């Protein structure tokens, strides 16, 4: 599998997947987004199918590699949409001046450091690592059945059965093959999430899935609530990875916010709610 996907035409758009996933998680929304954007969907460094991560497995190192991928694509700036850990990285790229707008779908990094939510996440991801390693050799067979897709992806999605068997199996392959899974998780837990209170100089939309069972909005959004000028939205009927649950809703969310940011920039006013 190549380390990134690029297709389409229009303004640049970077799609950033979550922890232990790959660019393929965006497949349900790619055809529609490529009609409006020049889409770059990279697999993060150190993740299955991505480039090796040089040095220590830290968020800064992953962000550096992602920024380099934008440079290689010729994207000085771009609209950026990120899911889960990808939302955290999207905001980091905005801090570095690389974003025209940011759409965060269930972003990671908003929990209180050392708190109960962080401890729960550490448990979930350690457990997930063991389960995915066990299921991965069996995934191609198990994912042929819609009921099993829905059951085994139930932590991440409301409607896992809407994925194709190949797309569903790819989730387990990506997780089991992520070489930085444990060291990156360890680094995130040791360093803790950033202080987001200074915000970013980019229009930001935080869109939280209604049925997120991984990053529960009530306990995992505290840090983002302190960001000035952020717009909030609920993605109804979706789980933590909403792109497969409701592709049309995710596409509309990204397209509409990017369009508003573009108009506001031209008017010199900022996107605003």
The reply to whether 99 falls in a domain is yes
* Residue 20, domain CATH: 3.40.50.1820
Decide if 120 is inside a domain. no
Distance of CA 76 to the CA centre of its chain: 20
Sign of CA dihedral 55, 56, 57, 60: negative
Q: How many alpha carbons lie under 13 Å from residue 225 in its C-beta half-sphere?
A: 8
Residue 40 belongs to some domain of the structure: yes
Share of the chain above pLDDT 70, in %: 98
Mean pLDDT of 4-19: 98
Is 23 a member of any domain? yes
Rounded to whole angstroms, the Cα distance separating 150 from 266 reads 44
Contact 66, 91 (CB under 8 A): no
In a domain, 230, yes or no: yes
pLDDT value of position 77: 98
In a domain, 145, yes or no: no
For 114-173, the pLDDT digits (tens) are: 899 999 999 998 998 999 999 999 999 999 999 999 999 999 999 999 999 999 999 999
The answer on pLDDT for 273 being more than 50 is no
Q: Which domain holds residue 54?
A: 4-113+193-267
Mean pLDDT across 55-63: 95
Q: Confidence class of residue 243 from pLDDT cuts 50, 70 and 90?
A: very high
Average pLDDT estimate for 99-117: 95
For the chain, the average pLDDT equals: 94
Q: Which of 62, 188, 64 is nearest to 125 (CA)?
A: 188
Quick: pLDDT tens for 178-210.
Answer: 999 999 999 999 999 999 998 899 999 999 999
Separation of alpha carbons 82 and 23, rounded Å = 11
Is residue 131 in a domain?
no
Q: Using the predicted structure, report yes or no on whether residue 270 has a pLDDT greater than 60.
A: no
Say yes or no to pLDDT of 272 above 60: no
Q: Are 80 and 13 in contact (CB under 8 A)?
A: yes
- Predicted confidence (pLDDT) per residue in 205-241, tens digit: 999 999 999 999 999 999 999 999 999 999 999 999 9
Q: Is 133 part of a structural domain of the chain?
A: no
Q: Which of 150, 202, 147, 143 has its CA nearest to residue 173? A: 143
Q: Work out how many domains the chain is built from and give that number.
A: 1
């Amino acid at each position: 599998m190549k380390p990134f996907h690029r297709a389409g035409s229009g303004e640049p758009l970077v799609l950033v997947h979550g922890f232990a996933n790959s660019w393929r998680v965006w497949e349900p929304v790619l055809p529609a987004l490529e009609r409006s954007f020049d889409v770059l969907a990279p697999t993060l460094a150190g993740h299955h199918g991505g480039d090796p991560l040089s040095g220590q497995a830290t968020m800064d190192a992953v962000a550096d590699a992602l920024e380099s991928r934008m440079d290689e694509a010729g994207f000085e700036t771009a609209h950026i949409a990120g899911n889960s850990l990808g939302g955290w990285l999207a905001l980091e790229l905005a801090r570095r001046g690389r974003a025209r707008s940011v759409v965060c779908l269930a972003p990671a990094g908003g929990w209180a450091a050392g708190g109960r939510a962080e401890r729960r996440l550490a448990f979930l991801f350690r457990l997930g690592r063991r389960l995915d390693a066990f299921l991965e050799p069996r995934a191609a067979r198990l994912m042929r059945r819609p009921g099993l897709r829905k059951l085994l992806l139930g932590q991440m999605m409301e409607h896992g059965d809407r994925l194709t068997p190949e797309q569903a199996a790819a989730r387990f392959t990506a997780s089991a093959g992520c070489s930085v899974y444990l060291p990156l998780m360890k680094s995130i837990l040791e360093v803790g999430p950033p202080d987001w209170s200074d915000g970013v100089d980019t229009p930001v939309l935080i869109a939280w899935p209604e049925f997120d069972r991984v990053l529960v909005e009530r306990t995992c959004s505290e840090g983002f609530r302190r960001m000035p000028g952020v717009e909030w939205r609920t993605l109804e009927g979706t789980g933590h990875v909403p792109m497969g649950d409701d592709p049309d809703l995710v596409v509309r969310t990204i397209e509409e916010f990017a369009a508003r940011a573009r108009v506001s920039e031209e008017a010199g006013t900022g996107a605003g709610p």
